[in-house]
Chain A
Amino acid sequence: MMTLLEVAGLSVIYHTDEGTVYALDKIDLAVGKGEIVSVVGESGSGKSTLANTVIKLLPPYAKVTEGRVLFEGKDILSLSEEDMRSIRGNRISMIFQEPNIALNPLFKIKEFMTDVYLAHHPEASREEALSRSLEMLREARVPTPEDVLERYPHELSGGMKQRVLIATSLLNSPDLLIADEPTSALDVSVQAQIISLLKRLQREKNMSVIFITHDLAVAAQIADRIVVMYAGHVLEEGSVDEVFQKPLHPYTEMLMKSVPKIGAEKIESPPGSIPDLRRRIEQCPFMDRCPKAFGKCREKPPLIALGDRKVACWLYNEG
């Protein structure tokens, strides 16, 4: 598989009133062409920071301290904002958790969508933009798309708004779609429809997707490959089948045991919570909560390859 996106040794910090927050610490990630990679993590894991770095939407108080983000071999981080604008919303697009924040309440859907198209196709006419919008709404299985184009966001349901945003994100046929918890604000029946829709569109367009979620069940549904993050570190990576069948990292294992499943008699509740990110973590980030921790864990384990999988844990590292 050809690599579309490569993140190498990426570290990001936030300067906040309460001190420096180490949000990402030497992250490596590769996304192949036509692949769906799900980045799974709890709050504070850095999953959204990772997404925002890739699309260069970090807030001004954030700083990339090291690493590279290569999109088709080109370093995105060194691009000017102007150059980035021709990529963002065009080659790489993004959908967010809250459709209400993404849509402008003052504009009709048709104005919103055609603007996104025209921004990257200045030569196109409004009619072309409108017909392209209609086409994408149809592909996103929006019922009565002509009618939806004439509506304001508040007139649409949450699920419909998310469909509109998916349609909008695909207007310019992106190579990479970043979806940050796109179904977390939706009801389960709507979530199932949105996931099916995303999978279908991804297949038809051979697009690459980074799907960010806190929900392991959702990741299991959509991903080809899964990347488990914790406290700004990647702890495990592998094909979705392998990781769910046999998680390697004790954190992944814990995460799976703490998800309530229908019909499950008991869930385990691991003690503790994520470490304070205002200090740079020098040990294994999961050490304090890990039932299998031993002396070596005071040193940070590197992410090592085990066949097709990767894990950052001394249990698997002879060295």
Chain B
Amino acid sequence: MSEIILEVENLRKYFPIKTGFKQVRYLKAVDNVSFTLARGETLGVIGESGSGKTTLGKTVIRLYKPTGGKILFNGEDIAPLPRKALKKYRKKMQIVYQDPYSSLNPRMRIRDIIGRPMKIHGLASTREEITSRVKQLLEEVGLPSEVMHRFPHELSGGQRQRIAIARALATEPELIVLDEPTSALDVSIQAQILNLLKEIQRKRNTAYIFISHDIAVVSYMSDRIAVMYMGVFVETGPTREVIGEPMHPYTKMLISVVPEPDPTKKIRVTEDLGEPQLPIDPPPICRFHDRCKYKLPVCDEKAPPKIPIGESGRTVACWLYGKGKTVERN
């Protein structure tokens, strides 16, 4: 693919948790995560609740200060920058949240919600200029321009999410983090928003980090996929390979339990699949060790390295692939 705009290296975000007198433990929400993203590309991040996917998205665009690691945005490391120095990067990196009911200021009219980022970043100055750009953006997201005089509560969930997208586009970003952007919407509305996002990407060549718990949605949207579990990437690679031939036992398990809208393909769960824990001071071993049915002795001793597979940039963090070993793929 084309030019790399984002390179994330060993990114860490730890949240301190006070557990007692002078005792501090850490919730290692993002732990040594690395990836790259090219212009116009979509990286999908799948994971269950508590996997750290939202923290990752927010840290990458510096809504959180990382605990460690590098975030090279167009070659410049923005990880250590103080707040003030970040302003010039903010307009290049935007985010769309899950809940369009809480992400839009209820007291502002749509025109001001979309126009404000332009003003803050000096992209439009006069009222007329802002209004005409807001009109263009509304058209781009498929809403009539009259909407600009309305308040968020007058709009439906799908319409609000279109506003959130228009607001993100207002600063002409190169990267947009989409954090479960359709999870609160009905399926027919979800389909509209997903196809709109694809259309926008095709026209603007914007890079997306698409975060969702919904594997079908992520695979529909993404060029590449990263599977996140308890703060780490357990597997990454081109969508077709990861979904078609999952390698990490966690990815396999996850894909095997996704229900299909087809009554002839029923899932049968006979064993206890367990549930993920929060990565609070996790021991330096495989984080999936307690739920893994292919576990080796080494899995309880050392954290698996990231093992490159083939030529497509695929990686898997699992001891099963450590010494050229393979397991049955099912």
Contact = CB atoms under 8 A, between A and B. Distances in A.
Interface of A: 42-43, 141, 143, 157-160, 187-193, 195-196, 214-221, 223, 240-241, 244, 254-256, 258-264, 267-271, 273
Nearest to B159: A273
A256 B264 contact: no
Nearest to A45: B186
B186 A241 contact: no
Contacts of A270: 188, 191-192
Interface in B168-191: 186-191
B191 A143 contact: no
Nearest 10 CB-CB pairings of A with B: A258-B191, A192-B257, A42-B186, A269-B191, A187-B48, A217-B259, A260-B220, A269-B192, A260-B216, A196-B269
A189 B186 contact: no
Contacts of B192: 269-271
Contact of B220 (A196, A218, A219, A264): A264
Contact of B275 (A190, A195, A221): A190
Contacts of B120: none
14 contacts: A43-B186, A160-B275, A188-B48, A189-B254, A192-B269, A193-B272, A216-B187, A244-B262, A244-B263, A255-B187, A260-B214, A260-B220, A267-B194, A273-B158
B56 interface: no
Interface string B187-229: 1111110111000000000000000011111011000000000
Nearest to A188: B257
Most buried by A among B158, B255, B261, B264: B261
B262 A187 contact: no
Contacts of A192: 257, 259, 267, 269, 273
B190 A157 contact: no
Interface of B: 48-49, 156-158, 186-192, 194-196, 213-217, 219-220, 243-244, 253-255, 257-264, 266-270, 272-276
B259 A221 contact: yes
A191 B275 CA distance: 11
A221 B194 contact: no
B261 A216 contact: yes
B213 A188 contact: yes
A72 B269 CA distance: 34
B153 to A, nearest CB: 11
Given A189-B275, A193-B273, A258-B188, A217 B257 contact: no
Given A143-B272, A267-B220, A189 B259 contact: no
A262 to B, nearest CB: 5
A193 B273 CA distance: 8
Contacts of B262: 217, 220, 244
Nearest to A258: B191
Given A189-B254, A258-B187, A262-B260, A267 B195 contact: yes
Nearest to B219: A262
B243 A262 contact: yes
Given A42-B187, A193-B269, A220-B262, 5 more contacts: A42-B189, A188-B259, A214-B187, A217-B259, A263-B244
B254 A188 contact: yes
A283 to B, nearest CB: 19
B200 to A, nearest CB: 14
A259 B259 CA distance: 12
Contacts of A259: 187, 191, 216, 261
B188 A195 contact: no
Contacts of A220: 259-263, 266
A196 B216 CA distance: 21
A138 B268 CA distance: 20
Contacts of B190: 258, 260
Most buried by A among B158, B219, B262, B274: B262
Given A263-B219, A269-B194, A269-B195, A187 B275 contact: yes
Contacts of B276: 187
B275 A159 contact: yes
A218 B259 contact: yes
Contacts of A43: 157, 186
